Amino acid sequence: MKLAGHPFQVNKEGHLVIGGLDTVGLAKKYGTPLYVYDVSIIRENCRAFVNTFKELGVSAQVAYASKAFSSIAILQVMKQEGLSIDVVSEGELYTALKADFPTEKIHLHGNNKSIDELTLAIENNIGCIVIDNFYEIELLNRLLDEHDKNMNVLLRVTPGIQSKTHQYIMTGNEDSKFGFNLANGQAEKAFTQLDNHDRIHFKGLHCHIGSQIFETDSFTKAAEILFDELAKWHSVYNYTPEVLNFGGGFGIRYTKEDSPLPLAQYVDELVLTVKKHISHLQFPMPEIWIEPGRSIVGNAGITLYTIGSTKEIPGVRNYIAVDGGMTDNLRPALYQAKYEGVIANRADQPNTTEVSVAGKCCESGDMLIWDLPLPEVNNGDILAVFSTGAYGYSMANNYNRFSKAAVVFVENGQDKLIIKRETYDDIIRNDLSYE
């Protein structure tokens, strides 16, 4: 039986099934909390982007935003699917190098790239650096001179768009820590500065307007603003871009309140908008790059927890507590993000009660889900929370010295541990004595 609203099944025993495997069995085998990914969904999402560009005959790079979930195994899947990746730190770049990711398909982001980060990128001849600020232009140029190397770059610009999303995950608005402002001329100033730097090969513009966006208007508007600027640069400097990167941000379903668009629709509309503008301006067709993170891994991942204590406050609320919380999923505490969940060992039973799911950190704000409809809950039940595949493990932390949960991939009815559960020795491995 298919589970309503989610890409998962329920088996004869009434257990939730992911990728052909019983989640109750997975929880028993690996312990909880446990992140489980259905790799076939990840591949489907990758292909929705890649194939749409192919069908439209548009030269493109789909760069997985590895901040959504970075590990050797997931980057190997991205490599198998022919994607590029974006990294925003030396740690993410290091992981990509360890995954043997083709370096020419790695793009480096960051609003404060360090000398070490830039050096690692330069030494490994990565495909592109997305320049974010004036300081970086000079720093990159000096490092390229020192290493006797050249580098492709994009300029990250902020088109001044208030995308319809949580304030903390808006990035394309004017008052943003990221990128060069288009409206006040800073982007143009950066563009002209690049001209003086022979080692920097300027390929085009990048913008990312925010995350968890459910409509295409904001992207179309951003493209329009970019083309207004490019029209000016064309007439003044005779410049045409080789690449336009529109970032990521395509929304996914966390709860029934979310209605995501088919992934292909974002690509269709972006390509349509670009084609309209280039035909008007008589530019050659640029390569189109995008950077989806959440929409590739988000709905492929779930988290399994074991339910422990419960607390009834008559007339107020019923709490159930799980063996994880804000340490494995920071999003509810950080963005008031909402999730859905089911009792994985009784996923076929009707909901008869409403509970609020608490984490086990010493923090009142450590609540995973408020007012979740569930069947009667027993101690020892397994709670499955959906759509935790993006920014779950990658934002996990060791608050209260909880160890980070394990991650399992399932595909074709097989399960494989791809990140081990941290041990307490892992937790204290950098602690030094003061005796």
Ligand X SMILES: Cc1ncc(COP(=O)(O)O)c(C=O)c1O
Ligand Y SMILES: N[C@@H](CCCC[NH3+])C(=O)O
Residues numbered 161-180 forming contacts with ligand X, rule: CB under 6 A: 171
Catalytic residue, candidates 46, 128, 361, 362: 362
CB of 379 to ligand Y, least distance (A): 31
DSSP 3-state helix, strand, coil percentages of the chain (rounded to 5)? 35, 25, 40
Query: Could you confirm whether 362 is annotated as catalytic?
Result: yes
- Is 22 one of the binding residues for ligand X (CB under 6 A)? no
Return the amino acid letter for 168.
Y
**Kind and range of the H or E run holding 332:** helix 331-335
* Structure-token pair, residue 146: 């020192």
Distance CA 20, CA 145 (A): 54
Query: Does 253 appear as a known binding residue?
Result: no
Residue closest to 247 by CA, chosen among 272, 270, 230 = 270
- Cis, bond preceding 373 (omega within 30 deg of 0): no
Q: Which residue is nearest to ligand Y (CB)?
A: 391
Q: Is 211 in the site for ligand Y (CB under 6 A)?
A: yes
Stretch that binds ligand X, among 35-43, 244-252, 271-279, 312-320 (CB under 6 A): 244-252
The span from the CA of 228 to the CA of 87, in Å, is 29
d(CA 291, CA 84): 9
Q: Residue 102 carries which DSSP code?
A: -
Q: Which of 79, 206, 331, 404 binds ligand Y (CB under 6 A)?
A: 331
For residue 97, give the amino acid letter: L
Amino acid letter at 219? Answer: F
For ligand Y, the closer CB: 105 or 338: 338
Q: Looking at residue 419, what DSSP letter applies?
A: E
Q: Binds 292, which of ligand Y, ligand X, none (CB < 5 to 8 A, cut-off by type)? A: ligand X
As a whole number of Å, the end-to-end CA separation of the chain is 60
Could you tell me the smallest distance in angstroms from the CB atom of residue 212 to ligand Y?
A: 6
Q: Which residues of 164-212 form beta strands (DSSP E)?
A: 180-181, 200-206
Distance CA 357, CA 307 (A): 9
Identified binder of ligand X from the candidate list 295, 327, 329, 345, rule CB under 6 A: 295
Given the rule CB under 6 A, which of 37-45, 110-118, 242-250, 314-322 is the region that contacts ligand X? Answer: 242-250
Least separation in angstroms between CB 126 and ligand X: 16
- Residue closer to ligand Y by CB (options 19, 301) is 301
**What residues from 60 to 89 belong to the interface with ligand X (CB under 6 A)?**
65, 68, 86
* Site membership for ligand X, residue 247 (CB under 6 A): yes
Number of H helices, E strands in the chain: 12, 21
- Is residue 331 a known part of a binding site? yes
Q: Does 136 interact with ligand X (rule: CB under 6 A)?
A: no
Is 246 among the residues that bind ligand Y (CB under 6 A)? no
418: nearest Cα among 75, 46, 67:
75
Quick one: 295 or 299, whose CB is closer to ligand X? 295
DSSP 167: G
335 marked as binding residue:
yes
Out of 113, 197, 208, 253, point to the residue binding ligand X (CB under 6 A): 208
Select the residue interacting with ligand Y from 85, 99, 169, 213 (CB under 6 A).
169
Contact positions vs ligand Y (CB under 6 A): 169, 171, 211-212, 331, 391
Please give the annotated binding residues for pyridoxal 5'-phosphate, written as ranges.
Answer: 249, 291-294, 391
Q: What amino acid positions are annotated as catalytic residues?
A: 362
